Structure 1
Amino acid sequence: MMFTEASLLDVWETAHGLSAVRRALVLAVAGGAEPAAAGDLAVGQRDEFLLALRERCFGTAFPCLVNCPSCGEELELELASRDLRPSRVDSPAMIAVDGYEVEFRPVTSRDLLEVHSRRALLERCVVAARSGGQDVDRSELPDAVLAALPDALAACDPQADVRIDLDCAVCGHRWASPFDIAVYLWTELEACARRLLYDVHALALAYGWSEAEVLAVSPGRRRRYLELAGTTA
């Protein structure tokens, strides 16, 4: 089901002014996540709902502009939804480092909201730790052990850290560029919402229509009315 323009404005208004994590949660709920459970979803699971919302609002093609980190050339490309859904592999949620065995879970939005340091975030993701057959409190894990967690977390939840393999047609440089669906989708929603608000404002001034009446007119007809009113942006 496609989102209506009125629904899009409602989501934009709710998310506007929030922090990046809280905004992503609003978008996830709009994409179908349960409101009470969204904060405890793994970030990759949350982002699946953002992808679903983006597909409903704007389709499955993702036009992008990327600057080559080597020569600075601006590259234009178009990604598809399938490019943004990494293949999932069964990755054990356990690592063994320097005699320690550490069980862990993926990072959630609640984690990102409630902790404010890298070490605290990593510790929070530790479910259990043992060394020499004895339980170890996660706060007592050595830095070297916790340093092994980020790679393991990325393998466990690949949707949370999407990277696109790119090569520059100008200089031949190859690199993996990060793709953040939360940032990408919000940029689109913000631009779309501002266009819709302009349409409502201009047509309300020109014809006295309400917001609902403006949004009930198809985008094509709306453009024509704006032209006739001499207010096309």
Structure 2
Amino acid sequence: MAALTEAGLLGTWEAAQALPAVRRALALAVAGGAQPSTVVDLAVGRRDGFLLALRESCFGPAWQALVTCPACGEELELELSGEDVRAPAPAVPAATVTAAGYEVDLRPVTSRDLLAVRRDAPDARRRLLQRCVVAARQAGREVATAELPDAALDALPGALSTCDPQADVRLSLDCVTCGHHWAAPFDVATYLWTELDTYARRLMHEVHALALGYGWSESDVLAVSPARRRYYLELAGSTA
């Protein structure tokens, strides 16, 4: 996909900044090339693949991050590559789990599922798992999803991670200070939005400063390359 222009990035930021998290991720996926009519029904990992593509096309292949060691509280600086945050595609994007005497066929979680289940609902986890059940059997007899006991449902999350690993990326980390080893979750939607929000706000500050200094419009400012823009900002500051 072609990288968004700075005007395009601002437009994407403006359209997404008031949205809740799942809808914001969908908007960013569409900006990354996903089809608007089908993106909500993509597996979350497939959706996130479009977010990865958008991020790398706009900001490059290196991913900087700060993490805090859960053992000693030390803040660690990371520089990740695309390979660090991409999970291998599963051979089969589905799974069958046998647990508590039940055999359950699953599909990956989609954004539509996440939108349908309120995160603060007391039974949110159970309802989300139930939505991913394609079919269930006990001793060869078809069983309704609502009949599955907790013991069977509790076995499903691991299988969901296996059939959609991009939706559950975890970074294997070691603390250089205390030696603690842990797996830290990586959420590309949150990462990309934080980066895009920071970039957009900085860009609007530059537009504001150059509009005051030179009387330029937003389109005038964005027509100037970032390197030249920084030089004009220095000049405007030196004459203020």
TM-score by length of 1: 0.96
Pairs within 5 Å for 1:77-156? 77-90=78-91, 93-116=95-118, 117-156=124-163
Alignment-mate amino acid for residue 209 of structure 1: W
Is the 8 Å Cα contact of residues 90 and 164 (structure 2) preserved in structure 1?
A: no
* Alpha-carbon distance in 2 for matches of 1:52, 1:229: 36
* Alpha-carbon distance in 1 for matches of 2:113, 2:199: 31
* Alpha-carbon distance in 2 for matches of 1:155, 1:45: 14
Alignment-mate amino acid for residue 25 of structure 1: L
Deviation of residue 198 (structure 1)? 0.8
1:29 pairs with 2:27: no
Runs of at least 4 residues off by over 2 Å: 87-92
Deviation of residue 90 (structure 1)? 2.9
Pairs within 5 Å for 1:180-219? 180-219=187-226
Identity of paired residues, percent?
66
Q: Deviations 1:193-225 (Å, cap 9, x if unpaired)? A: 001111111111221211111100011111111
The residue that corresponds to 2:181 in the other structure is 174
Q: Kindly tell me: are residues 196 and 155 of structure 1, through their superposed partners in 2, closer, same or farther at Cα, counting changes over 3 Å?
A: same
Deviation of residue 3 (structure 1)? 1.9
Structure 2: runs of 5+ lacking an equivalent: 119-123
The residue that corresponds to 2:44 in the other structure is 43
Give 3-state SS (helix, strand or coil) of 2:73's partner: coil
Pairs within 5 Å for 1:160-171? 160-171=167-178
RMSD (CA atoms): 1.4
Is the 8 Å Cα contact of residues 202 and 231 (structure 1) preserved in structure 2?
A: no
Q: Deviations 1:58-111 (Å, cap 9, x if unpaired)? A: 011001111111111111110000111122343551111122111110000110
* Alpha-carbon distance in 2 for matches of 1:38, 1:190: 22
TM-score by length of 2: 0.93
The count of corresponding residues between Structure 1 and Structure 2 is 232
Is the 8 Å Cα contact of residues 3 and 58 (structure 2) preserved in structure 1?
A: yes
Structure 1: runs of 5+ lacking an equivalent: none
Is the 8 Å Cα contact of residues 39 and 108 (structure 1) preserved in structure 2?
A: yes
